[in-house]
Structure 1
């Protein structure tokens, strides 16, 4: 028994000696422990209100869920619509899709119908690419009388075929402001534009395909128009005549720049009779205008802004007659006067800002750096 106890003691001492750290040879330091190579792993316990198996969203009304969804971006809304049928119904509510910015995006064929059916009112599609067709044939058969709720539509520099553009505008009858800047159009498209009788602002700058008949149709139909930009559209003399003789008397802002050899003094005289309450006029690069046009322009007794840049037939002395326009606030005459002439003009018109605006803002949806809004209305949440 004593021998067994002695063997047990020897075994314990041997184990202790094996577990004791050995002294490194030659006084070498033990290797450094890099704590970056370690991480602490903790397994979180599932909370009771998650693990109880109850759907707490079922206790919330649709109105409360909508109040939650309105804080989500559009991408998150789309993901929520895949969760269940109820979420799909709530995420598709019109109150969540009032405004939408798809500028510069590529939209597949038929994608726009899913957007318009959600009740979008403000839509920005500037520089977007819309594949043909805009609407699927099945949708057109199922909804032959579908009419969008669009009121503000920016299609500036959009890439779209003429049939697709006609199809889109044929479903729009509540438009208030429309921009088709630098977009090819035809008579059929102009006819669809004319059917939006509530239009207040129309931007057709640099459009290709405007003819005298279509211009007259638009001018006669849009009686609520107050801002019109029809600059650099290569209008013929007949088309210019259609504008100045048929445009609504309610017009307040007009841009007809770029009518190089088709806009004459007689056209301005007709416009003065038709729209005497114009506030803003841009006749830049209308090189057929002469010095007599200044006397005609003085008939616009409410005029605040005038641009006659690069109208080379107007002599410098003719601008002095603008003293007869006490309401005039800004005058742009780029490329017309020398530095000495500009100084003399500024001395004679101390209350008028001269050459303050390089680009026109008439009927344009975005001005300056405001790329996320159209006509002063935000397009992003």
Structure 2
């Protein structure tokens, strides 16, 4: 009922909630949204998702990780997310995210700086060619993409803009050390958690919500 009254939101996080098509369509009315976090959400159709993404064309950060998505939801996401997005989390889709989806996504979103496709077990080194097309890519997450071997990750070092690479679960301690030596200019496995579209970042202690500084002020109820 609160969202039904909102049409000018710029930042919204509903992480882990059970939503509905009506709620998602209410989100769609907020066409000025810049950051949207729906991580772990469920209860809405692919059609409602498509409607929302078509409407929210100003999104810069979008987290759709670990939602209760079918392959149809994933297809809707990669085909309708705004081309302006620079940070995108589509992790957690196991067999539902295909290499063809990565191709579609990269062609649609050329300005991606931070991309998380972790826990997508259908991805293979074949998809690396698409990452090379992202001229602004700095942060890439492919943790637990088990069809990618440590040796094959070396190719990602050819992406000149890449600064960090998260590949938890697919490299052993020994291979991780070797990978770090082979790719000295890239920080590897330096962050366990995503910050994309989340209000606060656990690694920071600067009391900010979406980059806005906040300070708790205690008031004396007696007025003294």
Name segments (4+ residues, structure 1) moved above 6 Å.
none
Shift of 1:324: 2.4
Q: Distance in 2 between matches of 1:373 and 1:177?
A: 13
Structure 1 or 2, whichever has the larger Rg, is 1
Gaps in structure 2 of 5+ consecutive residues: 218-224
**Contact preservation (8 Å) 1:251, 1:275:** yes
Say which structure is richer in helix.
Answer: 1
- Of residues 208, 217, 227, the one that matches 2:51 is 217
| Number of residue pairs the alignment of both structures matches | 215
RMSD across aligned positions (CA): 1.4
**Contact preservation (8 Å) 1:295, 1:321:** no
TM-score using structure 2 length: 0.92
Q: Distance in 1 between matches of 2:181 and 2:115?
A: 23
Aligned counterparts, 1:1-381, within 5 A: 167-368=1-202, 370=205, 373-377=208-212, 378=214, 380-381=216-217
Shift of 1:318: 1.9
Q: Distance in 1 between matches of 2:125 and 2:44?
A: 29
TM-score using structure 1 length: 0.55
**Relative to structure 1, is the Cα distance of residues 218 and 311 closer, same or farther in structure 2, using a 3 angstrom cutoff?**
same
Shift of 1:374: 1.6
Q: Distance in 2 between matches of 1:379 and 1:192?
A: 30
SS of residue in 1 equivalent to 2:62: strand
Q: Distance in 1 between matches of 2:179 and 2:206?
A: 35
Q: Distance in 2 between matches of 1:229 and 1:264?
A: 18
Gaps in structure 1 of 5+ consecutive residues: 1-166
Q: Distance in 1 between matches of 2:101 and 2:215?
A: 38
Q: Distance in 2 between matches of 1:322 and 1:372?
A: 35
Kindly indicate whether structure 1 or structure 2 has the higher relative contact order, using CA contacts under 8 Å at least 6 residues apart: 2
Shift of 1:275: 0.4
SS of residue in 1 equivalent to 2:176: helix
